[in-house]
Amino acid sequence: MKYNNDKKFSKRAKYSPLNKVLLAVFPLTVAASSIAEQQEIWLEDFNDAAIDNKGAIFNTIDMDNVTKWSIDVGNAGLENEFDWFKVTNQQFEGRDIGGDATWMSEVIAIAGMTDVSFSMLVSESGTHETSDFVDVFYALDGGDFVRVENWQEKGNANHTLIDDFGSVTVSVALTNANSLQLKVVMANSSGSEYTRLDDVRVVAGEQSGGGEEPEPTPTPVSQDLFFSEYVEGSSFNKAVEIYNPTDATILLADYQFKLYSNGSAQPTSVANLSGEILPGDVLVIGSSQIRDDSELLGYVDAQESAVNFNGDDYFELVKQDQVIDSFGQRGVRESWGANKTLVRKPEVVQGDSIVDDAFDPDQQWLEYDSDTFTFLGSHNSDDDGSGGDGGGSEPPTPVDFGQCGDQATLISAIQGSGDASTLVNQTHIVEAVVTNVLPNLQGFIVQEEQTDNDGDETSSEALFVFLNGRSNLPTLGNKVRVQGNVSEFFNRTQLSLTEEHLDCGQGETIEPQAITLPVADNAAFEVLENMLVSLPQSLSVIDTFNLTRFGQFAVSNGRLFIPTNVYAPGSPEAQALADRNRRNKLLVDDKNSQQNPAVVPYPSPSLSYNTPVRLGDKVSGLQGTLDFSFGNYQIQPTAAPVFSPANERSNEVIASASDELKIASFNVLNYFNGNGDGTGFPTPRGADNAEEFERQQTKIVAALAQIDADVFGLMEIENDGFGDNSAIAQLVRELNNQVGANTYDYVALDADGIGSDAIAVGIIYKPSVVTPVGSAATITTTPFDFGNRQPLAQTFASNVNGGAQERFTFVVNHFKSKGGCGSASGANQDQNDGQGCWNLLRTQAANGLLAWLATNPTGVADEDVLIVGDLNSYGKEDPITAITNAGYSNLLSTKVGPSAYTYSFGGEIGYLDHALASASFTPQVQQVQAWHINADEPRAFDYNEEFKSAEQQAAFYAPTAFRASDHDPVIVTVRLGTQVDGVLGDFDGDNDVDINDIRALLAAIRANNIDLATQDINQDGVVNFTDVRAMYGLCTRARCRAE
């Protein structure tokens, strides 16, 4: 089972913190009677903090506090500190097991027990091969171990599981015996491959010979769980939601989910539930095969292979062999739920326990478009939680709806001054003015007239009214009288209608309340929840990640920079900027809950490649109601926002003079070419098919051709060697087709690739301009054997103006990303200093790179070195500081300045892509540019076709450089052989650059004592305070301290 502890959209825990949900699938040979009344005999879920990190790391074995299992790593081939077979993140994990490693349980007593079975969750991540496997064994009464064969056709004749099997629960029903022992053998062969074991469980039925327990009293159906939502969308987007309508926590140990595929009269898959569901809460179970990039994944609490229906399958919810709810008609195959989302109508308060009656979804279900997920995570039911005749709390006292002008509850009393209403589950009547009508959100907003405001600045005067299955919408600006139940939906206070609204005629004009960003505190948004607001500022667009997926974009007062791009990690300045950024952003929605809308209304009338919204563009006239939805405050506009281009596309690329070289670094975002002959798609990354690949390749080639560099360093190109069908060979062919035959060539190693990662770095160059000297080189040892991709270095001699004696060494890099934190441990875990996880590994890569370069790996001894690549570290983070402390100059910092960026994440910008020049190479650098063709563009403008209609695939795409990738390229021009007398920036003649030199330059500028030849540090043709900022990148010692 996969268990999602980080739901994207919910701010509250879904379960008691002491429980996880376990779903175990049992094969058809296990009868229903054999899995009822089961008790847990033995469990290892690896959750005990005392066994965290226990196991083997490299050549160290630590088994202190481990009593229930053992390991054997004698044949594991753990070759360095990044190879392990241990407990990590509450799972048992094997990484880079060159041979095979064994986990074995203690001997488990099962004497006198019947219906014994075991189950375990086995999962993997990374790109595995058929030689990678997991074998599950069991032994009874000390006999030979028996292997579970080819589980769910995801193994083969020799192994239980092989290759990329995903996440599965292996379960086996056993014959009666006295003892049981379990064994799991794992093998994988790459640092990017992980195999995991979790929730190893042994259960049994009643002990034979025991006294009979009294028959439990069945819970009335009206007082029990039922299905509240059904999702059958594209690909493996499949899920069910189970709702607890009672006022008590329900333990799940007696419940099962049973699937009957293709009209079968017998269950084809059975899932046992454990844990609990809190009162009024839900459990969302998704398919175990949901894609990692699916939006649905963020909504599910657990994943299971039993959730594998196709719209014509029947399934049911069972408690103690009693069906308490069903979907479809047992034994009948009919397409009643294909490619749609169904939500149980609010008036349905109990399940359908009749399994063979005709099924008409229209009777109890509301239908929505395929891949609609936004209703998951909560259910609005008319049930009052009393459970009907089964007991529980008394139903609420009926409320007389009355007429317009009669007594009503003030909205401020419902909203209260806290984060949640104190009147939840109470029925109230409100009379207020309609300020926003939201049919696609199934509701509308009402706000009190001025005379009914309570004067308390800590309480909101507006409320979202949920239609609750009703279709009549009020008139904007009219006053209405509404009655409903107060609830919190994902922490948004709302009123769920129990009666149709009553129109009270034209209402008082509601004046919007002005908000300016940044707010003093995010609590300022809470007190204005649902109120009509306006933002008088001209704001910057800072995030369009979900513009075409959900019709949303984010704005702020000015662009926001990653704090560690401009300040040292963990510093007071970085912390202050992070806090200001949090208070300086707001989402703008399109008033539509539909995913992938056919028309994206921003900018008006609709988004297209030719009418884009780029980061940095300005927005004015923002007015609407302030919504809180799925963890974010957002504006639901009541007037169309006005967009003004402020960051228009630029085709200008810096040019190199005839005696200069142009060098560029470009992350090409998973350029994978299949088999190299138009077949072999989909690949592990990149394009899903040949058509997508052609779209991708066209854009990348357009960008490379326009940059026109003499040497390119590439990242994220398929690591498939250097043959004719390799990705780098095809890219060079296509580029030469565009710019001229034989213009470019590529650097090749005598190897099948560079390391074992799916992606690699590469170098392409113009043979007419530069000539490779020495040998191309890479390094395979720590820290480049895990996470950090291996670098590639090549020394070049310039052919410009006969300068063949002028040489430089070019090295391309791609350090470990900030993602994949689940496998990080120790200092590689997120230290909450802004650098994310794996910072230690990236810093080790920086230091390892410097040490390697000091050995002249290309065989050429030359001090002129240029380090480029995606270092996955922002400008002031530790890996960059390690390199600059060694005398290298951060060219984006010194030449572009603090406004430099190449990447956007979460509405903030910075540069992960770098050009770092050695001390001798720095004076030869002429110009530096981050060409903003990618980071500022909506991701919908890339080559991908998914989540786009046929019309959008055409309207969002153009065969240009823009959105060829997600990183901006970095471009550098150099004039080799340029000499600068003395040390650049050394104004006091002590052969270093420190704070005294910076003060000297400041004094000269203030006195207007300007010397362009020596003081133009950033070489922009003028001497001013930007040169003072550039000086900090030249300092000999950290923090520019003087000796």
Find out whether the peptide bond into 279 is cis, omega within 30 degrees of 0.
no
Provide the token pair at 1014. 């020596």
Dihedral pair phi/psi, residue 737, rounded to 5°:
-60, -30
pLDDT level of residue 392 (50, 70, 90 thresholds) = very low
Pair 316, 330: CB distance under 8 Å: yes
Residue 473, classified by CB atoms within 10 Å of its CB into exposed (0-12), middle (13-18) or buried (19+), is middle
Six token digits for residue 516: 């300016």
Give the lowest-confidence range in 176-190, 607-621, 879-893: 176-190
Instruction: Give the pLDDT score at 228.
Output: 94
CA 677 to chain centre: 32
Superfamily of 38-204 according to CATH: Galactose-binding domain-like (2.60.120.260)
- Kindly tell me if the per-residue pLDDT of 34 is higher than 60: no
Q: Nearest 5°: phi and psi at 941?
A: -85, 5
Q: What tens digit of pLDDT does each residue of 687-742 get?
A: 999 999 999 999 999 999 999 999 999 999 999 999 999 999 999 999 999 999 99
Give, for 617, the enclosing helix (H) or strand (E).
Answer: none
Q: What is the pLDDT of residue 33?
A: 29
pLDDT at 822: 78
Q: Apex CA 867: angle with CA 866 and CA 870, to 5°?
A: 145
For domain 411-509, give the fold. Answer: OB fold (Dihydrolipoamide Acetyltransferase, E2P) (2.40.50)
Provide the pLDDT for residue 434. 98
Residue 381 confidence (pLDDT): 67
With bands split at pLDDT 50, 70 and 90, how would you rate the model's confidence at 437?
A: very high
Tokens of 17: 């913190």
For the question of whether the overall pTM of this predicted structure is more than 0.75, the answer is no
The pLDDT, as a whole number, for residue 517 is 97
Q: Which fold has domain 661-974?
A: Deoxyribonuclease I; Chain A (3.60.10)
Phi, psi of 729 (to 5 degrees): -65, -45
How many CA atoms does the CB half-sphere of 200 hold within 13 Å?
Answer: 22
- Structural domain boundaries of the chain? 2-20+222-390, 38-204, 411-509, 514-644, 661-974, 995-1040
Q: Per the structure block, which two tokens stand in for 420?
A: 């949640």
Handedness of CA 991, 994, 998, 999 (dihedral sign): negative
- What pLDDT is attached to residue 804? 56
Give 402-430 pLDDT, tens digit per residue: 999 999 999 999 999 888 899 998 999 99
pLDDT tens digit string along 3-32?
343 332 232 222 222 232 333 333 332 322
Token pair belonging to 520: 């003093």
Predicted confidence (pLDDT) at residue 217 exceeds the cutoff of 60 = no
Report pLDDT for 419. Answer: 83
Looking at residue 192, its pLDDT comes to 65
**Among the listed residues 401, 452, 454, 447, the one whose alpha carbon sits nearest the alpha carbon of residue 428:** 401
Per DSSP, the three-state class of 487 is: strand
Write the pLDDT tens digit of every residue in 447-500. Answer: 999 999 988 888 999 999 999 888 899 999 999 999 999 998 877 899 999 999
Across residues 35-48, what is the average pLDDT? Answer: 76
Going by C-alpha positions, the residue among 14, 641, 572 that lies closest to residue 283 is 14
Q: What is the pLDDT of residues 58-97, one digit of tens each?
A: 878 888 889 999 998 888 888 776 778 999 888 999 988 8
Mean pLDDT of the chain: 87
More confident site: 9 or 953 = 953
What are the C-alpha distances in Å from 1030 to residues 78, 436, 864, 918, 984? 46, 51, 21, 16, 11
Burial of 773: CB neighbours in 10 Å, binned 0-12, 13-18, 19+: middle
Question: For the chain, how big is the Rg over CA atoms in Å?
Answer: 32
Mean pLDDT over 752-765 rounds to 96
Q: Which residue has better confidence, 99 or 620?
A: 620
User: Does residue 283 register a pLDDT over 50?
Assistant: yes
- d(CA 162, CA 188) in angstroms, rounded, equals 10
Please confirm whether the linkage preceding 645 is cis (ω < 30° from 0).
no
Helices and strands per DSSP (H, E), number in the chain: 15, 59
For the chain, first and last CA: distance in Å? 59
Phi-psi region of 722 (alpha: psi -120 to 50; beta: other; left: phi over 0): alpha
Percent over 70 (pLDDT), the chain = 91
Q: How far is CA 223 from CA 37, 244, 248, 290, 489, in A?
A: 21, 9, 10, 32, 22
Task: Give the closest residue to 539 by CA, choosing from 522, 525, 520, 519.
Answer: 519
Tens-place pLDDT, residues 815-827: 999 988 878 899 9
- Per-residue pLDDT tens over the stretch 510-542: 999 999 999 999 889 989 999 999 999 999 999
Which residues are bridge partners to 713 per DSSP? Answer: 665, 763
CATH number of 2-20+222-390: 2.60.40.1260
Residue 980 has a pLDDT of 54
Query: Residues 899-931, buried b or exposed e (16+ Cβ, 10 A)?
Result: ebbbbbeebbbbbbbbbbbbbebbbbbbbbbbb
